[in-house]
Amino acid sequence: MKDNKIWELYQKEINRQQSSHNFIASENYVSDEVLEITGSEFTNKYTEGYPYKRYYNGCENYDELEVYGIELLQQLFGCNFANLQPHSGANANLAVFKAFLSPGDTILGMDLSAGGHLSHGSNANISGKWFDNHFYGVDDNGFLNYDEIEMKAVEVKPKMLIAGASAYPRQIDWQRFRQIADKVGAILLIDMSHYSGLIAAGVYDNPIPYGDVITSTTHKTLRGARGGMILWNNQEFTKKINSAVFPGTQGGPLMNQIAGKIQSFSEANTDEFKKYGQDIIDNAKIMCQVFRENGITIGTDGTDSHIILIHTKETSGEEVANRLESEFNIVVNKNSIPNDPRGVWKTSGIRIGTAAMTTKRGSDVNYFKDIAEVISNVINNL
């Protein structure tokens, strides 16, 4: 028996997604195949443990599925080992912390207000409660200053250095982070969540050769089912990482979600996906051009990815985001800018991303130009 309330809300959400222009940088639209497999009978089984070493009987198909997914990741990113079981990117990071750190250890990550992620040591997150947290930021133009990051690392001597961001538009220099980590003897965790689809498409530098451990979500630019994953190359890390996921921080894996992840890995191993990745960046650059022509200030004056960080002038990012949605059905999120005087609730910027609408519209240049014009007009008129 269907619960009418649930199905009513489901239909409303379908209508909302079909009618809105989604420029949330961390969202995307999955394929019909991903939707189908995540709602399949794979949801019915407990599979605690790992392939060929489960705590329940009846897992032979799940063993084969998980091994296949790891093989696809090895092809896609060039890693030696992978764990597909984290329920989210934050869970993946938490497991890495458990594998390599003890409470009170020093970590150095990107400040949340500068574009970092909540799970990289923010006081609002468990990572901010367990460790001696230190942060690096960006300069007034929004760029990472690697020399300053190195100076900070030398000063605080972190046991773990974290690279990766939630609102950084440019190419991150993974090799430079490797050099800094080596200089201070730190473990280098690279969180590539926002960029993993671009990396799979070959249009953003691959961090696998440089990180000790790499984490990612699977549902942003990679366009898979919601969840997380951990990749690494050093066989000596395998037992500690796997045991930190299960039983260290999670119970049974969500095999329907893992199946949806694996379907997206298969889709990403195609020429079509490589074109998709390039279209994402081309569309973002086209929008940046329109913003400049309209006198809109853009963080780092452009982008190398799907992310564009926009300054909203005298109006708060919250008000701009609300106006875009209510009047034009354009969905973005408010976002802090460097040294933001308004704080995280009002903000002086918005963050947009081109991945979701590139899924829907491909390389429709005029569409992305038109959306950029509307956003510019709202900011300038407010």
Residues taking part in catalysis: 46, 48, 191, 217, 220, 226
Residue with tokens 């409303």: 12
Bond prior to 158 in cis (omega within 30° of 0): no
Query: Which of 52, 114, 9, 73 has the alpha carbon at shortest distance from 264?
Result: 73
Contacts of residue 185, defined as CB under 8 A and 6 or more positions apart, other chains included, come to: 157
> Do 236 and 242 contact (CB within 8 A), yes or no?
no
Run of H or E residues at 331: strand 330-331
> Do 120 and 162 contact (CB within 8 A), yes or no?
yes
Cα-based torsion angle of the residue sequence 103, 106, 112, 118 in order, rounded to the nearest 10 degrees: -20
Contacts of residue 142, defined as CB under 8 A and 6 or more positions apart, other chains included, come to: 115, 168, 169, 299, 300, 309, 337, 338
Q: What distance, in Å, lies between the first and last C-alpha atoms of the chain?
A: 49
User: Rounded to 5 degrees, what are φ and ψ at 17?
Assistant: -65, -35
Q: How far is CA 43 from the centre of its chain?
A: 24
d(Cα 191, Cα 230) in Å, to the nearest integer?
9
d(Cα 359, Cα 30) in Å, to the nearest integer?
9
- Residue 50 burial class via C-beta count within 10 angstroms: exposed 0-12, middle 13-18, buried 19 and up: middle
